[in-house]
Amino acid sequence: MQLFQQGEPGPAVKTKSRRDGNGKSATEPRPRRSRRVASRNSGSAAQEALDPAPAGDASEKKTGSVRKRETAESMARRQREISVAEFFQKNRHLLGFDNPAKALLTATKEAVDNSLDACEEAGILPGLEIAIEEMSEDRFRLSITDNGPGIIRAQIPKIFGKLLYGSKFHVLRQSRGQQGIGISAAGMYSQLTTGQPLRILSRTSARKPAHYFEIQIDTTRNEPKILTDRETEWDRSHGTRVEMELAGTYKKGRRSVDDYIIQTTLANPHAEVHYHPPKGDDFHRDRLTSELPREPQAIKPHPHGVELGALLSMLRDTRARSLKGALQTDFSRVSAKVADEICHMAGLDPESRPRSLKLPQVEALFRAIPKVKIMNPPTHCIVPIGEELILGGLKQMVPAEFFTSSTRPPAVYRGNPFTVEVGMAYGGGLPAEELVDLWRFANRVPLQYQQSACAITRAVTGTDWKHYGLQQSKGAIPAGPMVLFVHMASVWVPFTSESKEAVAAYPEILRELKLALQECGRRLGSFLRHRRRVEDAEKKKSYIRLYIPHIGIALKEILGLSDKEESKVVEVLTDTLERTRKIE
């Protein structure tokens, strides 16, 4: 709350950002304005940097050397609106830009998400080129080029230069992006760390020219600032290229950009991906299928998922003239009968004008909804990857011995339809001694961070893997040579934060996750049991061959058999035992 009341940036801001735990920010270039203020008061700024006093105190000190009581009027002068862009500039960790390694990953991820969403919406099989060049040890140039529909000239600045601008927030439909923050936040991070603008190249058709833009974000007004806008040549007939320079760190291994790209190809078997990493060989993956995923349908909200605030604004904005009509037209699965029932339960007249309802009445309505039995929302809006394509992707990418996958039928949490899919790759060249590699996905997007906060992890640790032949410490991820692929698709994935790294643990979601994990677990169990049986039989066979010669030796010693008689004993007995073993 305090953030929105801070009128004056300056030392107070600096103290605040330190207290957010954003220690690294001190070494990075600061926005011009606050740097100027800081240098003007460098003495007290240094002092306050050491002093963890609340931001309010710091502002008081700055106002004057003599302590002066605030009045409502003086406070009012300093109270003004904070732009969303400014808010996120100071809280970039919320969006996944909290450290250099993560920043490079997040920027890549946001651009790739947008490209894939755009291609699919336009019905184009996605072809992506991702290139990361190392400018210096901690500075990279990232470019993502797609073959999507392109963006018309007028929209380019808004999409890339304005936070919370997008087409997906107001629609309940399965998509990668949700809020319209991602790519512009990446651009802002780039601008903050290198001072370079976003460079956009886009073309919508062969008959039209390509447009080249250089854009910065005016963080105070949350508006794009266009540096360059010109027509240009491009060898593609349609598509978009986004290029940015940013501070970051490139590393290999878990949670690396490389890992993210591999996982993205797994979750998007219909995409062709070419990746040029800063170091090492290029990675290329042809698409596994040339069929686009079925187009996800947008649905109206289901009454069981609506919150009081949303209900209030829906009733205010509705075009229907009666409450009953509003319920029927603005929600899914509300028939005339169900609408009557809700009104009756709430003690409201079905014919009352929606806009005339007062807060207590809307609250009554809100409390009445859960008491009425309403059909589950339609589930055709959910598009899973599918068991076969998950299996195909794992087989292509993971050097394992056993593969299986399972897609659950759609289910519903809080009125939102969703479905859960699990893929499993076991054995082969995977490391046997380590914990199982858990790959989490939400709407085909790999989730790299906050593993422990995620419902998917909870479902995995809450499953008894010992039952299926894996080792597992209590309440931990199982150990063994395995990659576990878990995907949740929904019209609205309930993330625990804006950076979209962990799925919230609704009971219905946990239940579906566990069921899918258990199904794959059972198959793994029977595979392992069968393998053990074969191994045991082999062991028994060698066991027989190990000890029977000693029976020959003993009989030879006791009865004085000849060498020939001795080998006869061994031969006949081996035969007898192996014969009966098969019958057993």
Which residues sit at the interface with other proteins, rule CB under 8 A? Answer: 540, 543-544, 546-548, 550-551, 553-555, 557-559, 561, 568-569, 572-573, 575-577, 580-581
Cβ atoms of 298 and 170 closer than 8 Å: no
Coil/strand/helix, residue 335: coil
Angle at 169 between CA 168 and CA 172, to 5 degrees: 75
State the minimum distance, in angstroms, from the CB of residue 530 to other proteins.
20
Structural tokens at position 82: 């904070």
Cα 503 to Cα 490: distance, rounded to the nearest angstrom: 11
Closest CA to 275 of 76, 131, 460: 131
Cβ atoms of 55 and 6 closer than 8 Å: yes
**Which of 171/577 has CB closer to other proteins?**
577
**Which of 70/575 has CB closer to other proteins?**
575
Cβ atoms of 448 and 260 closer than 8 Å: yes
Half-sphere exposure of 177 (CA within 13 A, CB side): 29
Cβ atoms of 375 and 359 closer than 8 Å: no
**Which of 479/573 has CB closer to other proteins?**
573
Cα 369 to Cα 346: distance, rounded to the nearest angstrom: 8
State the minimum distance, in angstroms, from the CB of residue 537 to other proteins.
10
Coil/strand/helix, residue 367: helix
DSSP 168-207: STTSB---S--SS-HHHHHHHHHHHHH-PPEEEEEES-TT
**Which of 53/555 has CB closer to other proteins?**
555
How many whole angstroms from its chain centre is CA 388? Answer: 22
**Which of 308/554 has CB closer to other proteins?**
554
Which residues, including other chains, have CB under 8 Å from residue 24's CB and lie 6 or more apart? 99, 100
**Which of 349/571 has CB closer to other proteins?**
571
**Which of 335/576 has CB closer to other proteins?**
576
State the minimum distance, in angstroms, from the CB of residue 538 to other proteins.
12
Phi-psi sector, 473: left (phi>0), alpha (psi -120 to 50), beta: beta
Cβ atoms of 415 and 302 closer than 8 Å: yes
**Which of 227/554 has CB closer to other proteins?**
554
**Which of 515/561 has CB closer to other proteins?**
561
State the minimum distance, in angstroms, from the CB of residue 561 to other proteins.
8
State the minimum distance, in angstroms, from the CB of residue 547 to other proteins.
5
State the minimum distance, in angstroms, from the CB of residue 433 to other proteins.
28
State the minimum distance, in angstroms, from the CB of residue 132 to other proteins.
59
DSSP letter assigned to residue 435: B
State the minimum distance, in angstroms, from the CB of residue 535 to other proteins.
15
**Which of 376/574 has CB closer to other proteins?**
574
Cβ atoms of 74 and 227 closer than 8 Å: no
Closest CA to 486 of 372, 394, 560, 350: 394
State the minimum distance, in angstroms, from the CB of residue 563 to other proteins.
15
State the minimum distance, in angstroms, from the CB of residue 572 to other proteins.
6
State the minimum distance, in angstroms, from the CB of residue 446 to other proteins.
49
State the minimum distance, in angstroms, from the CB of residue 388 to other proteins.
42
Structural tokens at position 46: 């240094």
**Which of 356/580 has CB closer to other proteins?**
580
Strands 210-218 and 482-490: unpaired
State the minimum distance, in angstroms, from the CB of residue 534 to other proteins.
15
Q: How many CB atoms lie within 10 A of CB 360?
A: 8
**Which of 169/543 has CB closer to other proteins?**
543
**Which of 317/565 has CB closer to other proteins?**
565
Strands 272-276 and 127-136: parallel
Q: Annotate 269-323 with three-state secondary structure.
A: CCCEEEEECCCCCCEEECCCCCCCCCCCCCECCCHHHCCHHHHHHHHHHCCCCCH
Angle at 384 between CA 383 and CA 389, to 5 degrees: 130
